[in-house]
Amino acid sequence: MFLVFMFFSDDVSDLAHTVRYIMEFFPPFNFSLGYGVISRITGNHFDGEEMRWIEGREFTWEDWNFKLTGNFAMGKTYEVPPVTSPMKNLLFNTLIFWVLAWYFDNIQSGKYFFFLSRSYWNLKRRKTDLVMADTLQRT
């Protein structure tokens, strides 16, 4: 989890912030971030500030909105967002990938705007539409 938490350090460059922003659209990054925060709270871990091993505790409902902060062994600090943040990103990723899968599944022989056609939505031309079209053609 050291590498994932490094993205949330105070002393990283702008490039690292940009990479972190891009990686938030990558589901494995969000999953590992959420899992890392939960495992950091519940598992035994080394605390760089106190230079000793800390015993984990039970993960409770209050921990869903708990910002994880700490120090690396080299003295740099980090502040990781709560578990709800990567979970929201995972739900957003799911929605985006669902829409993309739906779109790519329905593209047929170059019809990129299929969702704008009446045939996709199973709409039939109403009789009044046909009468209006016939009237416009006569004038």
What pLDDT digit, counting tens, does each position of 59-75 carry? 999 999 989 887 776 77
Spatial neighbors of 84 by CB under 8 A, at least 6 apart, are 64, 65
pLDDT digits (tens, 9 = 90+) for 9-39: 877 788 888 988 898 889 999 999 999 899 9
- Asked whether residue 73 is assigned to any structural domain, the reply reads yes
- Asked whether residue 99 is assigned to any structural domain, the reply reads no
User: Is 73 exposed, middle or buried (CB count within 10 Å of its CB: 0-12, 13-18, 19+)?
Assistant: exposed
- Asked whether residue 129 is assigned to any structural domain, the reply reads no
Quick check: helix, strand or coil at residue 42?
helix
Give the chain's domain count.
1
Kindly report the pTM of this predicted structure.
0.70
